Structure formats: structure tokens, C-alpha cells
Structure 1
Amino acid sequence: MTPGARTTATPGRLTAGFGAEREVDRIRPAEDIRHGRPIEAFVVKAWTDRGWSRVATAVAVGASRILLLAAPVRARRWRVRVTAARAAVRTAEFGLYRSRT
């Protein structure tokens, strides 16, 4: 999981929280593919001053996927929620990154 983050996980949802806002423009979810690739769709949200805001949606994750955000987003908390899956979801990673400009 993302270094320095406090994470909580429930079936189909993982939340990463930081003590301060963090700017992110790349999100990297990954499944534990030793158990297959059940994720069919997911959404990523960020906690901003307006509450939870959707920043990305996608289909399939697999061994690793990198989502490029259109613009950097600043938030204290980040959440990935699986919206469709064929079987139990096993998350291997939920990385949050800021590219160098």
C-alpha cells in the first residue's frame, strides 16, 4: 500500500488516509492475481473540502494498472471501491503518486 498512509479495508473497498493533504496525479491499483482477476469495474474517490469526489473510474485491474488523472488532485483521504467483480477481491496494492513536472 502507499507508504505513510493509514489504510482500512472492507470487502470491495480500500481507504488510504494521510495526516495532511497530498497531491496525486497517478493511481496504481493492483490485484493479487494468484487468486484470479475478478475485478470488472471500480471507482476512485478523493476526500476534498467538498466531501468524497470521484476522480477516476475504470474497468479491470489485473496485476497492475496505472490511472493518469487529467489534473493533480489534493486530498487527505483516497478510496478505491470495486463496483463489479466476479468473485472475492484481493487487493495487492493501492499506490498514489505525483509525477515530476
Structure 2
Amino acid sequence: MGATPGRIMRIFIIQGAVIGVFGTLTGTALGIFGALNISGFISWLESALGHQFLSADVYFISYLPSQLQLQDVLIISGAGLAMSLLATIYPAWRASRVEPAEALRYE
């Protein structure tokens, strides 16, 4: 009665992949921005609140170090994308097994 189970599964996987790619790219961009600007943000937050979070007389360091490495970004982004793609397989498989009349029965 319309789409084959394989076609339905493909539609769900494509939708999941699009959402996963968008989420991964957005998260990667925000993560890079945050890593490059964390020291400035902490300085701004300390001055806004009037409290020093990493006092030099208490801690060994008085700032929050951040070193952005391309390999780390690629590994984390790749893992996030892979997990999002893997997470689409089971729902796509389940959706492809549902009979249309059964799905519409409770609507």
C-alpha cells in the first residue's frame, strides 16, 4: 500500500543522518568557539561576579588553560556523527515493520 519497508527504512535513516550531521556540525562549531574563548569568558565572569574562581594563592594555576587540537576535534566529531547514525538504525527498522493499517488504527 505505498512505500516498501526498505524505502521507509531509508527515509528514516536519511532523516536521522541529516539531523545528526546538523547537530554534529553545530556542536563542533560551538565547541571550537568555546575552547578558543574560555579564558576570556572566565575573566569576564569573574569580573561580573566579583569573585575569582582560580585564585593563585590556592591553586597552582590562576587561569583555565585550553588547547585546541585538530585530532581531538576530528575524533569527537566523528564519534558523535557515528553515534547519531547508529541511533537511527533501530527506529528505522521498527518503522519499516509497522503495517500502515495498524499504525492508523489508533489515530
Q: TM-score, normalised by structure 2?
A: 0.17
Indicate the structure with greater strand content: 1
Q: Compute the TM-score of the two structures, normalised by the length of structure 1.
A: 0.18
Greater helix percent: which structure?
2
Higher relative contact order, structure no. (Cα contacts within 8 Å, ≥ 6 residues apart): 2
